């Protein structure tokens, strides 16, 4: 397999649909309309759990690569010296938004979950992600191009 870097998932999906590339790892939200229309076929999901919007598509782990887990996530970050009162106010707004049934339904419709970890939990999660991916980069000997 040859890695082809793209400036985003949308142009990669265009090339996948056009036959210029044979496969890609795509966010569910980007690929789902094309999967539903039958123009693309989902081979697997990269998370540890099957997707609620594609429950018949196996995980990569189920397909023979145990422990495989690569999740697309988003978070809210600010400057390191952000006042705690501002952090608390932003967090409260996020918790309120994530509690909205409308937002949860919107996220679920594209196979996403809306979470509202505490700032400390999110900081720990980001640190774990950095550690996990830095180890992979070292283990396989990746070098910047």
60-69 pLDDT, tens digit each: 999 999 989 9
pLDDT at 29: 87
Residue 73 maps to a domain: no
Residue 126 maps to a domain: yes
**What distance in Å separates the CA atoms of residue 41 and residue 87, rounded to the nearest whole number?**
42
Residue 132 maps to a domain: yes
Residue 28 maps to a domain: no
Contact 49, 32 (CB under 8 A): no
What sections of the chain are H helices per DSSP?
Answer: 9-17, 28-36, 84-98, 101-109, 119-140
Q: Give the number of domains in the chain.
A: 1
* Confidence at 43, pLDDT banded by 50, 70, 90: very high
Residue 21 maps to a domain: no
Domain that holds residue 115: 84-140
Tokens 């870097």 found at: 5
Record the pTM. 0.76
Please, what sign has the CA dihedral across residues 81, 86, 90, 91? positive
Q: Which residues, other chains included, contact 62 with Cβ-Cβ below 8 Å and sequence gap of 6+?
A: 44
Q: Is the pLDDT of residue 145 over 80?
A: no
Residue 119 maps to a domain: yes
Residue 45 maps to a domain: no
Q: Crossing angle for the helix pair 101-109 and 84-98, nearest 10 degrees?
A: 70
Residue 135 maps to a domain: yes
């Amino acid at each position: 397999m040859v890695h082809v870097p793209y400036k985003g998932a949308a142009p990669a999906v265009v090339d996948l649909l056009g036959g210029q590339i044979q496969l890609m790892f795509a966010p569910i939200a980007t690929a789902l309309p094309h999967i539903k229309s039958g123009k693309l076929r989902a081979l697997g999901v990269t998370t540890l759990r099957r997707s609620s919007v594609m429950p018949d598509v196996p995980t990569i782990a189920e397909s023979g690569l145990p422990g495989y887990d690569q999740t697309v996530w988003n978070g809210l970050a600010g400057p390191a010296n952000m006042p705690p009162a501002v952090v608390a106010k932003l967090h409260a707004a996020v918790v309120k938004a994530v509690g909205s049934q409308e937002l949860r339904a919107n996220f679920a419709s594209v196979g996403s979950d809306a979470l509202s970890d505490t700032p400390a939990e999110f900081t720990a999660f980001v640190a774990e992600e950095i550690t996990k991916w830095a180890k992979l980069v070292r283990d396989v000997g990746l070098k910047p191009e």
